[in-house]
Amino acid sequence: MEDKSELYENQLNTLIDLALEEDIGGGDITSESLIPEKLQAKTTLLAKGDGVLSGLDLAKLVFIKVDPDLKFKALLKDGTRLHPGDIIASVTGNARSILKAERLALNFLQKLSGIATQTNQYVELIKDLPVDILDTRKTTPGMRLLEKYAVSMGGGRNHRFSLSDGILIKDNHLATLRAHGKTLKQIVGQAKANAPKGIKVEVEVTDLHEVKEAVEAGADIIMFDNMTPAKMRRAIKLVPANIFTEASGGITLKNVRAVAETGVNFISIGALTHSSKALDISLEFEPIKPKRK
């Protein structure tokens, strides 16, 4: 069985191969038509906005996959705070190869840095409070590992990577089982009885009655779904200290502080991955003039 590091590497290589096939197709006919075959160039990856860097190793992999002879030199590390004008890395080598890899490398780097940047904005607003910012499974298909990595670079924490990582009983699970006459208490009890060893059981609740039921059933984590901060404060008073609480739904930069002040342990935000704005990063290009003989 593959270990996690091997699985991660295999997924990255598969993703990059698919993305290169999508972007390059039968070849970069623009560069092949215009750029001399042996022309060399030196380039720099340049930050054009404030943010947090993420995805630098992935960008390097793209360049090296296109041309193993390219020289990629990282000048910063993932997690670094960026400011306009910061030089992130340099790439030197065949001009055609650099141009062929440029768009895909920037796409990855801009997207992941955008996620890290937005995550960090949330983290900074509640950094003095004992609460963690979590991501969700609302990720781009095929890019979950990368997007969750970007969240961690921004100071957030990762929720479930897959459905096998934990039991989370949501509204549709409850609706299905309630239609068969089961109460929330019975549903949570069944989940705990059938859960694999070491797996936590989390349940989504929307009102104080459901909070009481979840507590009585012995849920490990209770998720307050789309509750107002005022309602969350009342709910938390019903939850003993040995049960963790999570706020989810409708969390924004404007209200995250108020939610954190209710006393919840975690705040999960789907927008970290599905609605982040790409960070502006460019590739500055400088051809190397051939030496005169």
The tens digit of pLDDT for each residue in 166-202 reads 999 998 998 899 899 999 989 999 999 998 988 999 9
CATH (domain of 87): 3.90.1170.20
One DSSP character per residue, the chain reads: ---HHHHHHHHHHHHHHHHHHHHHTT--HHHHHHS-TT-EEEEEEEE-SSEE---HHHHHHHHHHH-TT-EEEE-S-TTPEE-TT-EEEEEEEEHHHHHHHHHHHHHHHHHHHHHHHHHHHHHHHTTTSS-EEE--S---TT-HHHHHHHHHHTT-B---SSGGG-EEE-HHHHHHHHTTT--HHHHHHHHHHHSPTT--EEEEE-SHHHHHHHHHHT-SEEEEES--HHHHHHHHTTS-TTSEEEEESS--TTTHHHHHTTT-SEEE-THHHHSPPPP-EEEEEEEEPPPP-
pLDDT at 2: 42
Does residue 250 belong to any structural domain of this protein?
yes
Does residue 182 belong to any structural domain of this protein?
yes
Does residue 293 belong to any structural domain of this protein?
no
pLDDT at 7: 65
Does residue 248 belong to any structural domain of this protein?
yes
Dist. CA 285–CA 90, nearest whole Å: 10
Range of the domain at 247: 123-274
Verify that 132 and 18 share a domain, yes or no: no
* Residues annotated as catalytic (active site), given as ranges: 103, 138, 170, 204, 225
Q: Does pTM surpass 0.85?
A: yes
Backbone angles phi, psi at 287, to 5 degrees: -60, 145
**In whole angstroms, how far apart are CA 190 and each of 177, 185, 194, 212, 282?**
11, 9, 6, 17, 53
Verify that 66 and 153 share a domain, yes or no: no
Verify that 127 and 270 share a domain, yes or no: yes
Among residues 186, 120, 130, which one has the least CA distance to residue 151?
A: 120
Verify that 89 and 173 share a domain, yes or no: no
pLDDT at 293: 56
132-134 vs 81-82, strand pairing mode? unpaired
Q: What CA dihedral angle connects 252, 258, 263 and 266, to 10 degrees?
A: 10
281-288 vs 71-74, strand pairing mode? unpaired
Verify that 58 and 201 share a domain, yes or no: no
CATH (domain of 242): 3.20.20.70
Dist. CA 117–CA 246, nearest whole Å: 22
Verify that 249 and 282 share a domain, yes or no: no
pLDDT at 12: 86
Amino acid letter, residue 48: K
Does residue 46 belong to any structural domain of this protein?
yes
Amino acid letter, residue 170: K
Residues in the chain predicted with pLDDT less than 70, given as ranges, are 1-5, 7, 290-293
Contact between residue 154 and residue 120 where contact means Cβ atoms under 8 Å apart = yes
- For the record, the structure tokens of 146 come out as 């990368």
Amino acid letter, residue 223: M
Verify that 183 and 281 share a domain, yes or no: no
pLDDT at 8: 72
Verify that 133 and 268 share a domain, yes or no: yes
- For the record, the structure tokens of 212 come out as 């009481």
Number of domains observed in the structure of the chain? 2
Does residue 263 belong to any structural domain of this protein?
yes
Verify that 223 and 177 share a domain, yes or no: yes
Among residues 241, 267, 69, which one has the least CA distance to residue 155?
A: 267
Verify that 282 and 270 share a domain, yes or no: no
